Amino acid sequence: MSERRRSQDQGTDPENVFRDLFVHAAPRVHPPAADAEEIRRVVYGEWDALARGRKRVRRLGALAAAAAVVAAAVLLTVGRQPNAPVEAVAHVERLVGTVHVIAGGRTLPLQAGDDVARGATVTTGSGQVGLRLISGGSLRVAAQARVTLTAANEAELDAGAVYFDSEHAAARREPFAVVTAFGTLRDVGTQFAVIVDTARLEVGVREGRVALTRRTDSTAVATGEKVTVNGAAIRREPLSTFGADWAWAERLAPPFDTDGRRLIEVLEWVAAQTGRTLEFADATLERTARETVLSGSIDLEPLPKLVAVLAVTDPDLEYSIERDRLLITKN
């Protein structure tokens, strides 16, 4: 009797048996990102030295064994040159007002294009900043926030709000984590915002899903949901994926170079940045958008950029916004 048949005879769905067992499961512990980075760098140095030494030893093939051992030992030492992972974990992509960075005991104003090193703390005051993460994705920091980039894939949010957009970076090695005093959030192909103050944590998910892990439990926050953690209490409620709550993050949207891109790419970018679904009045318009290649670029926020692009592409093209829809029409 096949295993499947036997389980059916027993009235047990194999998938349900699996799910029943995993009711007892909890998320596995993740090593602290800062520790992981530190150990990676040290082990990398060890490996780099060893592998370089082996490479060179192979080239010395004709030498006597004793000489090769000596050479390897020497090269092992020489090979300890810093070729370790870069310290910078982000750079400044958007800057509004004055934002400071605290690193190495010094506080300095950030400039557009500046690198932000691992371990640096960003304090926004009345300013705002959009960061391009080296590990992929965009991290936007609202006014009155304080956030430390503890690793390539992790930020500690002490106060204020941040917005993370993974930009569908499927190649990410690990999820991006936002650590707060109330729990840790990890993305799975997501756009989400986190707000922290002294008493509570709020996380709102615009796209994808976020895992919120606290001491011993974990909960998922899905698209269009907001979860508030206040002490031991967790409140879950619906959340609009568009509108005023997200406006500050939209203003910090990363630059999008339209030169050589198809019109549909720009439209999809605007829809993603404003939390809306792109729709066309008819199939012909959609085909036109797929076939039209743009020339040149102008750096604007999403909606002003849409107006500019439509105007230069075809003056008869128009857009309208109806709640969660971005509709493209033609006069």
Partner 1 sequence: MVTEDLEERRLVKRMLAHDAQAFNAFFDGYFSRLYRFARTRLADDPEITKEIVHVTLTKAIRKLASYRGEASLFTWLCTICRNEISDHLDRVTRDRQHVVLTEDLPDVRAAVDALAAPATDEPEDRFRRLETTRLIQVALDKLPAHYGDALEWKYVYGFSVEEIAANLGVGVEAAQSLLARAKRAFHDVYGALTRDIVGGGTGDSGATEWS
- Which residues of this chain interact with partner 1, rule CB under 8 A? 3-4, 6-7, 10, 12, 14, 17-22, 24-32, 35-36, 38-40, 42-44, 46-48, 50-52, 54-55, 168, 170-171, 173-175, 188-189, 208-209, 211, 218, 220
C-alpha closest to that of 162 among 135, 189, 201:
201
Query: Nearest-CA neighbor of 153 among 130, 170, 136?
Result: 136
Least distance between partner 1 and beta carbon 307 (Å): 31
Q: Are 212 and 177 in contact (CB under 8 A)?
A: no
Q: Sign of the C-alpha dihedral, residues 93, 97, 102, 107?
A: positive
Closest contact distance (angstroms) between CB of 96 and partner 1 is 31
**Cβ-based nearer residue to partner 1, 23 or 283:** 23
Minimum separation from the CB atom of position 221 to partner 1 (A): 11
Query: Of 30 and 214, which CB lies nearer to partner 1 in the complex structure?
Result: 30
Q: Which of 246, 261, 330, 320 is nearest to 296 (CA)?
A: 261
Q: Please identify, using beta-carbon distances, which residue of 174 and 314 lies nearer to partner 1.
A: 174
- 187 — phi, psi (to 5°)? -90, 155
Q: One-letter amino acid identity for 257?
A: D
Tokens of 270: 């605007």
Rounded distance between C-alpha atoms, residue 306 and residue 222, angstroms: 28
Closest CA to 156 of 188, 196, 104: 196
Q: Is 331 exposed, middle or buried (0-12, 13-18, 19+ CB in 10 A)?
A: exposed
Lookup: tokens for 241: 């994926």
The residue (of 188 and 247) whose beta carbon lies closer to partner 1 is 188
CA 277/CA 326 separation, integer angstroms: 6
CB of 235 to partner 1, least distance (A): 19
Amino acid, single-letter form, for residue 320: S
Nearest distance from C-beta of residue 180 to partner 1, angstroms: 18
Residue with smaller CB distance to partner 1, 50 or 143 = 50
Least separation in angstroms between residue 26's CB and partner 1 is 5
Beta strand 317-322 with 88-96 is: unpaired
Q: Under a CB-based contact definition with an 8 Å cutoff, are residues 120 and 99 in contact?
A: no
Distances (CA, A) of 89 to 18, 37, 80, 207: 39, 11, 23, 24
Minimum gap (Å) between residue 2 Cβ and partner 1 = 9
Q: Supply the minimum distance, in Å, between the C-beta of residue 32 and partner 1.
A: 7
Q: Between residues 3 and 322, which has the closer beta carbon with respect to partner 1?
A: 3
